[in-house]
A = this chain, B = another copy of it.
Amino acid sequence: MRKKNFLEDYLSILFYQSSNPQSVADIVSQLKKKHINYHRSTLFRAINRLKEKGLIKELIINNEKKFYESATIPHHHHLICYQCKKIVDVDLDQKEKFIFNLSKLIQEKYCFRIKDHLLEFYGLCKNCQKGLV
Contacts and interface: CB of A to CB of B under 8 A. Distances in A.
B116 A117 contact: no
Interface residues of A, number: 41
A122 B57 CA distance: 14
A52 interface: no
A118 B115 contact: no
Number of copies: 2
A10 interface: no
B92 A102 contact: yes
B116 A123 contact: yes
Interface in A79-93: 79, 81-82, 88, 90, 92
Contact of A121 (B95, B112, B120): B112
Interface string A61-74: 11111110000000
A106 B92 contact: yes
Contacts of A94: 102, 105
Contacts of A112: 79, 81, 88, 121, 123-126
Interface string A41-53: 0000000000000
Given A63-B67, A114-B123, A116-B122, 8 more contacts: A60-B62, A60-B120, A63-B64, A63-B66, A82-B115, A90-B110, A95-B102, A113-B124
